[in-house]
Amino acid sequence: IPNTEAKETAKPPDGYKSDEEEKVDRAAQSLLNKLIRNSLVNNTNQVEVLQRDPNSPLYSVKTFEELRLKPQLLQGVYGMGFNRPSKIQETALPMMLAEPPQNLIAQSQSGTGKTAAFVLAMLSHVDPANKWTQCLCISPTYELALQTGKVVEQMGKFYPEVKLAYAIRGNRVEGGSTIQEQIVIGTPGTMSDWLTKKKLIDPKKVRVFVLDEADVLIGMQGHQDQSIRIQRKLPKDCQMLLFSATFEDSVWQFAERVVPDPNIIRLKREEETLDTIKQYYVHCGSKQDKFDALCNIYGAITIAQAMIFCHTRKTAAWLSNRMAAEGHQVALLSGELTVEQRAAIIQRFREGKEKVLITTNVCSRGIDVEQVSVVINFDLPMDKDSNPDNETYLHRIGRTGRFGKRGLAINMVDSEQSMAVLKAIEEHFSKKIVELDTEDLDEIE
Ligand code: ADP
């Protein structure tokens, strides 16, 4: 599988990226999340539902049995280890499986069960006796299409009559006659080719149209227009489904253009909070000073697992070497790694094989590593104009105190500028960040 993620070649400092890179990065980020995710994320929020017809009853299910799935599919669902529908699936599945089919726009963060939901809908809607394409699923990238395909294969394991094809670059299929696969997953460009130029799919026979990761998709050159062109070729009564992890205005505008008369389901992210976290800072004179302080901290308290954030790739590599030399089991997450390599590193850290994960900001965005007990900002989060980046601060630190556990955050300050950033962050959240004397660490535990 070729690696299409953004290459961060010689563009110091590595904390910043252009808009275009940022967009490609969203696809890489999303792939990374899929590769490391093996269970549902915790979410205690309520699902918000906006029905197209507010007078029709709203069904939600607590079990997969209630959906009256084909036995082969129920077996597939249980075979994947799913016991009950996820929060979003409870309402999304009955809507998607209703007769007549209903259109749906659904937004919830990655890991909440969207893919599993629409894969189940696609598998339920196809008629395996019909040897033509009945479901189209658009993914932003080649790799993401393959990931979705894997879910189709797993869930359809006991339903082998249903076949799957990939409309992705490099997948050469003879044109001229239509293909027999009932489900086709692909990227907009190749999918469009298969429908119009090669005529491998008859658009009039498509019953379900899925747009996955709409927020990633619309950030990519040409994808939005191509998706709209595909949608225009489909029958009016084709079921349209759109999924997105985030919902900025641009996603919403796109969703409204491609999904007529939709039901809308949204599940807010679980809020991150600093309430359960003890925040400290250490005053240092230099990079070496910060390292010494870090060693003192490690000498004084028991740290099961820590994540350490650095501003540049260079600092991250330097720190990683220094800590390894001190005998720590260190993993370094940095920009030149492929998504697959990053996923493997995060997985090892999760399994506890590594005790310290050092990372730059770019690499860490969007990753959930929940069991971390200590977060260390070796460099404070700032934007490219050296303004405090409060959101990133919350996201980094918020991961320590989850699920009622108390977390510990330590910030390294080494200049007047970083002190000003620290003070601004402290003020922004109205939460005291206490100075720590690394020569006297009694108070910390
Ligand atoms: P999303 O598409 O929102 O990112 P996924 O459908 O990929 O979410 O689901 C996230 C993870 O949770 C996957 O590992 C998936 O196998 C698992 N999962 C999905 N639905 C359920 C369920 N009902 N019960 C248990 N695990 C589930």
ipTM of the complex: 0.99
Among 404, 398, 411, 401, residue whose Cα is nearest residue 438: 411
Looking at the chain, the number of H-run helices and the number of E-run strands are 15, 15
**Ligand 1 pocket, residue 37 CB under 6 Å:** yes
Q: Which residue in the block uniquely carries the two structure tokens 């498509």?
A: 206
Which amino acid appears at position 387 of this protein? N
CA–CA dist 239, 104 (Å, integer): 8
Three-state secondary structure call for residue 107: strand
The whole-number pLDDT of residue 55 equals: 82
CA-nearest residue, atom 19 of ligand 1: 113
The rounded Å distance from CA 39 to ligand 1 centre is: 6
The whole-number pLDDT of residue 444 equals: 64
Q: Which residue in the block uniquely carries the two structure tokens 């990753």?
A: 367
CA-nearest residue, atom 5 of ligand 1: 113
The rounded Å distance from CA 82 to ligand 1 centre is: 8
The rounded Å distance from CA 207 to ligand 1 centre is: 24
CA–CA dist 232, 23 (Å, integer): 26
Burial (CB count within 10 angstroms: exposed 0-12, middle 13-18, buried 19+), residue 62: exposed
pLDDT (tens place) for every residue of the chain, 445 residues total: 444 433 333 333 444 555 555 555 788 888 888 887 778 888 888 999 998 888 887 889 999 999 999 999 999 999 999 999 999 999 999 999 998 889 999 999 989 999 999 999 999 999 999 999 999 999 999 999 999 999 999 999 999 999 999 999 988 888 788 999 999 999 999 999 999 999 999 999 999 999 999 999 998 989 999 999 999 999 999 999 999 999 899 999 999 999 999 999 999 987 778 888 899 999 998 999 999 999 988 888 888 889 999 988 899 999 999 999 999 999 998 878 888 898 898 888 888 898 899 998 766 666 666 667 789 999 999 988 889 999 889 888 876 555 556 788 999 999 999 999 999 999 999 999 999 887 776 666 5
Q: What is the CA radius of gyration of the chain?
A: 24
For residue 80, which atom of ligand 1 is closest to its CA? 16
Max Cα-Cα span within the chain: 77
**Ligand 1 pocket, residue 89 CB under 6 Å:** yes
